[in-house]
Structure 1
Amino acid sequence: MKVLIVDDEPLILNGLVKIVREAAPTGTEVRWAGNVPEALAVMREFMPDVTVTDLNMPEKNGFDLIEEARECGLCDRFTVLTGYDNFEYARKALRFGVVDYLLKPIDKDEIRELLARIDEELPSESDSQYARHVKRILNYMEAHYMQELSLDRVADLMDLHPNYISSLFKKETGDTFVNYLNALRIREAQKLLRTHHHLPVNVIGQRVGFENKHYFTKVFKKYTSITPGAYREDDKTYSSEEGKGKC
């Protein structure tokens, strides 16, 4: 299991790291960060199974971290920490779908039970169903990428917990569900841009699962560093130049 701990106070952060290392199941890997931008950078490389984050941090707080991390598909399990027994914080944490809401000072037995529960939810290669689940999910995505897909929808269809699928994806592909799906869609869009020059860009976006043209362009550029229109023009130029040398 991979655990990320985020707190802007160095002494508290060091204490949390020590407690989590002592309380976590054997084999747990622990990383830490002192603020939201640093945490997001660590997440992109580390891909934690759960993030334990303080709520009260300067500039960007724990809720900002949860929102940005989920939007980018970097982590979907969060436990929030706060030194204030505030009902509004607790209610907002529930709305954000956090795993748990803990008060400082952290209780070692409490965090031990929490991490043990999370560890049990994570897929294991020793699970006899693991390979079958992986194959079913990847095959389904390959066949239905052009439709509306989400982690929750696939979980319902496969009768599996979303957290299980998310962790399974990380173990099997080294990527998140969202990134894998977007990369698949963009690869298919590139094929259509090369072979269907008569189709408008927005139609191609729709054919690979993007209803909104602007969002399609944004995602395409993120994965290829170029817009769909520019990609098509580059391909036309390359094809034209290549054709000149043929008999």
Structure 2
Amino acid sequence: MRILIVDDEPIILGGLVKVIGAAAPVGSEIREAGDAFEALGIMKEYMPDVTVTDLHMPEKNGFEMMEEAKENGLCERFIILTGYDDFEYARRALRYGVVDYLLKPVDKEEVSRLLSQVNRDLPSMDSTDCPPHAKRILAYTRMNYMNDLSLDHLADLMKLHPNYISNLFKKVTGDTFVNYLNATRIKEAQKLLSAHRDLPVGEIGRRVGYENKHYFNKVFKKYTGSTPGAYREEH
């Protein structure tokens, strides 16, 4: 299980990492962030199963962070921590699909119970409850299409079997992973060709994930019916 811990006070954050690390299920991975902006950046790569977060942080608070994370499919589950024993905060938190609401200082046994509950609720490879996995995988692909992506990379990142991800892609999108990735890249390339007419075709190819210009031209023509240069002239 992947756990992200967010708190803007370094001493408290360090304490939370120790307590949660000791309470988490065996084999769990833990990352930490000092504010909401850093947390959202980490989520794009890490894709946590659950985020344990403070609510009261400067510039972007915990509620705003949770809303943005859920909108972008970066994390579905949250455990919130606060020093304010306020029912309104608890009630508002429930709207964001929060697992639970805990007051500081946290109780190790309570955290252990919650994390065990989250771990039990995570979809397994043979589960038919695939939307949470699908949303995370699709979100990661959309945000990292320009990088060197493969089924093996996604499988390692998500701790899932490549065949499971392949079948999930087909089930949710109606397409294969390779076709989905190429279609996403070519769509972004079309935008760049229209918006940045001064950029060389090879550079646009690199920006969307194709290091080889000739291969980029070949894939672009396959998906659009024209070469990048011809598309630029037409648009």
Which one of the candidate residues 210, 226, 230 is aligned to 2:190? 226
Partner of 1:20: 20
5+ unaligned residues in a row in structure 1: which ranges? 134-157, 192-219, 242-247
One-letter code aligned to 2:188: T
Q: Does 2:227 correspond to 1:238?
A: yes
Partner of 1:96: 96
* Residue aligned with 1:27, SS: coil
Please tell me whether the aligned partners of residues 2 and 29 of structure 1 are also in contact (alpha carbons under 8 angstroms).
yes
One-letter code aligned to 1:122: L
Distance verdict in 2 for CA 1:120–1:166, change over 3 Å: farther
Partner Cα distance (2:188, 2:137) in 1:
26
Partner Cα distance (2:93, 2:24) in 1:
23
Please tell me whether the aligned partners of residues 73 and 136 of structure 2 are also in contact (alpha carbons under 8 angstroms).
no
Equivalent residue pairs, number: 179
Q: Give me the CA root mean square deviation.
A: 4.0
Partner Cα distance (1:59, 1:4) in 2:
19
- CA deviation after TM superposition for structure 1 residue 121, in Å: 1.5
- For residues 123-182 of structure 1, what are the alpha-carbon distances to aligned partners after superposition, in whole Å with 9 as ceiling and x for unaligned? 345xxxx1xx5xxxxxxxxxxxxxxxxxxxxxxxx5x3855766798444679x99x968
Distance verdict in 2 for CA 1:239–1:9, change over 3 Å: closer
Partner of 1:111: 111
- Give the TM-score taking structure 1 as reference length: 0.59
One-letter code aligned to 1:238: T
- For residues 183-219 of structure 1, what are the alpha-carbon distances to aligned partners after superposition, in whole Å with 9 as ceiling and x for unaligned? 969x57x87xxxxxxxxxxxxxxxxxxxxxxxxxxxx
Partner Cα distance (1:240, 1:223) in 2:
15
Distance verdict in 2 for CA 1:237–1:223, change over 3 Å: closer
* Residue aligned with 1:115, SS: helix
Partner Cα distance (1:58, 1:50) in 2:
22
Partner Cα distance (1:12, 1:171) in 2:
30
Partner of 2:42: 42
5+ unaligned residues in a row in structure 2: which ranges? 139-157, 195-219, 231-235
* Residue aligned with 2:3, SS: strand
- For residues 35-81 of structure 1, what are the alpha-carbon distances to aligned partners after superposition, in whole Å with 9 as ceiling and x for unaligned? 11100111111111000010000000001111111111111011111
Spell out structure 1 runs of 4+ moving beyond 3 A: 160-175, 180-185, 220-223, 225-232, 234-237
- Give the TM-score taking structure 2 as reference length: 0.62
Matches within 5 A, 1:122-137: 122-125=122-125, 130=126, 133=127
Please tell me whether the aligned partners of residues 5 and 30 of structure 1 are also in contact (alpha carbons under 8 angstroms).
yes
